[in-house]
């Protein structure tokens, strides 16, 4: 499903209006959708609408009018004088026949529900003064809160808090989600998110051509790998995972297990001499091969059946790992660079990016967490409040020439071609040692099966999040590969694939 920035959403409104849907009709649909959600949340209790001076407030007036008509006890507080309302918002306020309370915090009372219609897409500066006090009072009130379009104070495009923001129980947005419904901290402020149809036709998307999508199965169903009836294990690819030395071999084994469970036909751990004993003693279905440094690695990669490679988990930071990465880039298998493979280039990221661009290989994925991301992309600071995670990862993909996957509760995957996805399905207990190692392996396993890199990254992230839910609280990294069959079965069911 497409995700629209607030600018793209304005364009959608304009295109719908140009195609014959009056702007006020869109507002009437929006207000109705808010009223429907409010009825579910408030039961029979009194409802307070906190309205701002723009069209977000207009939606609030429509909802108030509709809820009163349905028999609810509704009051409205307005941030500004009624006379200063303009356009559709003024029209919506005309329809409201009840009282409008001035912006007095004591007027909030003890409602069964507060409808937050202060600011939506039009928020354009930090919130201070009366609106700030109102938002703080809404948060302190204790009543459930239904936010219209966005929790007031949240920047719709970046998900950032503009000084202070409402913490909603539920948010009703219109036509399509905005980045703030998925990116933190916005997502936390939204509560549940409902997307309402307000009469905008999907045809407008042909003009807008959005490049950001929610990472859900509908988005990548066409790329999801299914073993062929007449296939064999080599038809499902052979992934190789580079092991660290004797002091750190577990990460590569976790990764290898993830690759195998994600469906690679064969998986081999490439092991330095000193770690051969440790690796062979702890692996069964995953194979082990001796690898003597970068020269030995290059020799192994001449076998073109080894079509996907993961370097980084437990690899160690330094020249040896850099040499392995450059060797893999030259050999051109589909490649996941994770953890130490990224940190090894902290002092010379340009060298890595040049090597990536020189290969012409488009199947390269970098999978940093925030710390690793900062080491490689120091110029893409996360300090700027208006620069979102989405924008940072897109810029990093452009800079590096690789697909960049920035991990976290709102994992973003971006391609140098501009496409990006945001995932919102990862539970917090996924943040546990080794979890990222399994993720890089899963993506390697998908690459081995021939899935294009951007899709492989998106599918891997989504399945990893689902595996987190499947294993539940208490999860450790070893559990993740073991619950993948359950995740895959549900995907098969969802896609209608026989098994
Ligand atoms: N046809 C459509 O387009 C549809 C739109 N719809 C609805 O309209 C909403 C967007 O409406 P909007 O553009 O009027 O802006 P909105 O969010 O109400 O903000 C109001 C004004 O507040 C001001 N302001 C900004 N920041 C501020 C701050 N920090 N502190 C104080 N004031 C601040 C700023 O005005 P300024 O002060 O800059 O002149 C801004 O213009 C959208 O979210 C959806 O709910 C739906 O009805 C469907 C159809
Ligand atoms: N708060 C969170 N909610 C959900 N998932 C998270 C959260 N924090 C981290 N994760 C996920 O946990 C995994 C941790 O990976 P990483 O930091 O590389 O750990 P490791 O290096 O120990 O394997 C990533 O997939 C990341 O997206
Ligand atoms: K709002």
Query: Which residue is closest in CA terms to ligand 1's atom 21?
Result: 54
- 160 and 305 in one domain? no
Q: Among 210, 245, 264, which residue terminates a domain?
A: 210
pLDDT tens, residue by residue, 250-260? 999 999 999 99
Instruction: Identify the CATH number of the domain in which residue 485 sits.
Output: 3.40.1190.20
Residue where the block lists tokens 């052979």: 238
Q: What residues does 366 pair with on adjacent strands?
A: 337, 404
Q: Ligand 1 centre and the CA of 69: distance in Å?
A: 25
- 295 and 349 in one domain? yes
- Residue 171: phi and psi, rounded to 5, are -130, 130
- 313 and 248 in one domain? yes
Q: Ligand 1 centre and the CA of 107: distance in Å?
A: 23
pLDDT tens, residue by residue, 147-162? 999 999 999 999 999 9
Indicate if ligand 1 lies below 6 Å from the C-beta of 443: no
Domain span holding position 317: 218-495
- 257 and 147 in one domain? no
- Give the residue with greater pLDDT, 341 vs 382: 341
Query: Which residue is closest in CA terms to ligand 1's atom 44?
Result: 56
- 79 and 12 in one domain? yes
Indicate if ligand 1 lies below 6 Å from the C-beta of 60: no
Residue 410, marked binder: yes
Q: Which of 123, 127, 177 to mutate to test the pocket of ligand 1 (most atoms within 8 A of CB)?
A: 123
Q: Among 189, 210, 231, which residue terminates a domain?
A: 210
Interface confidence (ipTM) of the complex: 0.95
- 247 and 148 in one domain? no
- 226 and 206 in one domain? no
pLDDT for 382 beyond 80: no
pLDDT at 102: 85
Q: Ligand 3 centre and the CA of 409: distance in Å?
A: 23
Q: Which of 250, 426, 460, 476 to mutate to test the pocket of ligand 2 (most atoms within 8 A of CB)?
A: 426
Report the pLDDT averaged over residues 53-57: 97
- 323 and 298 in one domain? yes
Query: Which residue is closest in CA terms to ligand 1's atom 25?
Result: 123
Percent of the chain predicted with pLDDT > 70:
99
Q: Among 180, 210, 240, which residue terminates a domain?
A: 210
Indicate if ligand 2 lies below 6 Å from the C-beta of 430: yes
Domain count, the chain: 2
- 131 and 173 in one domain? yes
Percent of the chain predicted with pLDDT > 90:
95
pLDDT for 495 beyond 80: yes
- Residue 290: phi and psi, rounded to 5, are -70, 135
pLDDT tens, residue by residue, 196-228? 999 999 999 999 999 999 999 999 999 999 999
Q: Containing H/E element for 138?
A: helix 129-141
- 189 and 94 in one domain? yes
Query: Which residue is closest in CA terms to ligand 1's atom 45?
Result: 56
- Beta-carbon contacts of 68 under 8 Å, excluding residues fewer than 6 positions away, are 74, 96, 97, 98
């Amino acid at each position: 499903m497409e995700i629209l920035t607030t600018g793209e959403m304005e364009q959608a409104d304009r295109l719908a209006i140009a195609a014959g849907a009056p702007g006020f009709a869109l507002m009437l649909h929006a207000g109705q959708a808010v009223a429907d959600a409010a009825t579910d949340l408030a039961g029979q209790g009194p409802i307070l609408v906190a309205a701002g001076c723009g069209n977000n407030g207009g939606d609030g007036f429509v909802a108030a009018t509709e809820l009163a008509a349905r028999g609810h006890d509704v009051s409205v507080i307005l941030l500004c004088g009624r006379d200063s309302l303009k356009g559709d918002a003024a029209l919506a306020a005309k329809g409201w026949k009840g009282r409008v309370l001035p912006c007095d915090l004591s007027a909030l009372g003890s409602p069964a529900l507060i409808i937050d219609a202060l600011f939506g897409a039009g928020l354009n500066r930090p919130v201070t003064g009366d609106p700030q006090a109102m938002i703080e009072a809404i948060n302190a009130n204790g009543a459930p809160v239904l936010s219209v379009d966005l929790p007031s104070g949240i920047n719709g495009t970046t998900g950032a808090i503009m000084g202070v923001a409402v913490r909603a129980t539920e948010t009703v947005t219109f036509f399509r989600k905005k980045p703030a419904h998925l990116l933190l901290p916005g997502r936390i402020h939204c509560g549940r998110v409902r997307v309402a149809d307000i009469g905008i036709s999907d045809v407008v998307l042909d003009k807008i051509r959005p490049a950001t999508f929610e990472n859900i199965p509908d988005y990548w169903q066409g790329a999801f790998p299914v073993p062929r009836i007449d296939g064999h294990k080599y038809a499902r690819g052979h992934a190789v995972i580079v092991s660290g030395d004797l002091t750190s071999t577990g990460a590569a084994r976790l990764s290898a297990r993830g690759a195998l469970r994600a469906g690679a036909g064969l998986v081999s751990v490439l092991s330095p001499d000193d770690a051969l004993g440790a690796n062979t003693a702890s692996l069964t279905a995953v194979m082990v091969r001796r690898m003597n440094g970068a020269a030995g690695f290059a020799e192994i990669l001449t076998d073109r059946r080894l079509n996907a490679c993961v370097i980084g988990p437990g690899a160690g930071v330094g020249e040896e790992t850099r040499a392995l990465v450059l060797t893999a880039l030259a050999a051109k298998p589909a490649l996941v660079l994770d953890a130490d493979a990224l940190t090894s280039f902290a002092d010379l990221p340009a060298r890595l990016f040049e090597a990536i661009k020189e290969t012409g290989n488009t199947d390269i994925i970098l999978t940093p967490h925030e710390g690793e991301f900062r080491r490689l992309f120091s110029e893409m600071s996360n300090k700027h409040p208006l620069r979102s995670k989405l924008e940072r990862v897109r810029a990093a993909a452009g800079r590096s020439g690789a697909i960049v996957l920035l991990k976290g509760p709102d994992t973003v995957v971006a391609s140098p071609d501009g496409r990006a996805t945001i995932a919102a399905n990862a539970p917090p207990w996924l943040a546990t040692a080794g979890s990222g190692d399994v993720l890089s392996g899963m993506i390697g396993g998908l690459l081995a099966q021939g899935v294009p890199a951007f899709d492989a990254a998106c599918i891997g992230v989504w399945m990893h999040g689902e595996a987190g839910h499947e294993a539940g609280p208490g999860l450790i990294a070893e559990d993740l590969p073991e619950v993948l069959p359950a995740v895959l079965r549900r995907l098969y069911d969802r896609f209608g694939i026989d098994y």
